[in-house]
Amino acid sequence: MIIDLRSDTVTKPTKSMLEAMLTAEVGDDVYKEDPTVNALEKRLANMFGMDEALFFPTGSMANQAALKLHTNPGEQVICDKYAHIYNYEGGGASFNSGISCKLVDGHRGMFTAEQAEASINPPDFYHSPLTSLIAVENTTNKGGGACWDFEELKKLRKVADTHNLGYHLDGARLWNALIAKDENPEQYGELFDTISVCLSKGLGCPIGSVLMGNKEIMKGAIRVRKILGGGMRQVGYLAAAGLYALDNHFERLTEDHKKAKEIGEVLSQLNQIKKVEPIETNIVIFELNDDIDETQFLNILKDKNIHIIGMGSNKLRMVTHLDYTDQMHKKLLNLLSAF
């Protein structure tokens, strides 16, 4: 039995999900003729109360399209130093949109409205890049699955309005935040200009992300997706997985969160571990003591068929997910307790 906790992206489609995929009605989505893709987009747009939604192969591509839609070359996006758009999208912000990132020194991937305001370059000071967008992430990935305080997100909306900036949410794991904080999609749809969500993380789809926004900004989205190479044909087979996941894999995220907390409790008892970061959702980040070698620690776990990943600076990460069973959980807790 291999216990793979590297990410919630390692899940494989369940049998029922595969059946839903196999029986999907499809068409050419580049002509917008795939009924299943259209249904998924409509369902998500309704769910968030936003005008339009567009299916993308990856979350990175959905975010990159959003950056392009909000900015012109030479401009600047405000984001946290931990942001996925800055750290993990291959430098796409500069490559695709010709923009730079103004990094905010936030806490666990989140920052305050005051910090964002202080990061805005005065628009008439033509020596600096023009600030045109604020981008936030919920839950935060590198920040350890932390959830934003919704009141702070509202304050950021005000900052964006005052300074005429766009406001984008990288909601790759927004599903986890909605469950953990008992929030609803509409309140996010109301607040943001654009939102990207992933179907391939906690929801357990093999592929798929969706970008949502109002009519005005989404006008150019399909062209940008085409430019990025994301126009796909009979992709309803994949969208069917998304529809299935929304029905069957959303509420169960509480189980992942519960397991993550239980792992954290055991880890915090271990002598080898300096600190376990607060666990709000399905991500557990912990720091090893200075005298413990990271590679050695990872290899000991690997020998026991437990796969986790290093995040740099002696920090390690475990992510619970759909394929991490009760049986695996029991085994892992026993193993860690005996460390």
Ligand X SMILES: *Cc1c(COP(=O)(O)O)cnc(C)c1O
Residues that bind ligand X (CB under 6 A): 58-60, 63, 84, 137, 141, 170, 172-173, 198, 200-201, 209
- Determine the Cα–Cα distance for residues 312 and 87; give it in Å rounded to an integer: 13
> In the bound complex, what is the minimum distance in angstroms from residue 96's beta carbon to ligand X?
13
The residue (of 188 and 297) whose beta carbon lies closer to ligand X is 188
The residue (of 60 and 132) whose beta carbon lies closer to ligand X is 60
The residue (of 122 and 278) whose beta carbon lies closer to ligand X is 278
94 is written with which tokens? Answer: 């500069």
- Determine the Cα–Cα distance for residues 148 and 192; give it in Å rounded to an integer: 14
> In the bound complex, what is the minimum distance in angstroms from residue 108's beta carbon to ligand X?
13
Q: How many CA atoms lie within 13 A of 123 on its CB side?
A: 8
> In the bound complex, what is the minimum distance in angstroms from residue 137's beta carbon to ligand X?
5
166 φ, ψ (degrees, to nearest 5)? -75, 165
- Determine the Cα–Cα distance for residues 215 and 43; give it in Å rounded to an integer: 16
Residue of minimal CB distance from ligand X? 59
Angle, alpha carbons 176-180-185 (nearest 5°)? 65
Pairing state between β 131-137 and 76-80: parallel
Q: Are 41 and 210 in contact (CB under 8 A)?
A: yes
Q: Are 174 and 203 in contact (CB under 8 A)?
A: no
> In the bound complex, what is the minimum distance in angstroms from residue 112's beta carbon to ligand X?
19
Q: Which residues are within 8 A (CB) of 281 and not within 5 positions of it... i.e. 6 or more apart?
A: 139, 145, 146, 147, 173, 176, 177, 179, 180, 253, 256, 257, 260
The residue (of 167 and 297) whose beta carbon lies closer to ligand X is 167
The residue (of 201 and 259) whose beta carbon lies closer to ligand X is 201
- Determine the Cα–Cα distance for residues 49 and 36; give it in Å rounded to an integer: 20
> In the bound complex, what is the minimum distance in angstroms from residue 142's beta carbon to ligand X?
8
> In the bound complex, what is the minimum distance in angstroms from residue 292's beta carbon to ligand X?
27
- Determine the Cα–Cα distance for residues 54 and 67; give it in Å rounded to an integer: 15
> In the bound complex, what is the minimum distance in angstroms from residue 157's beta carbon to ligand X?
20
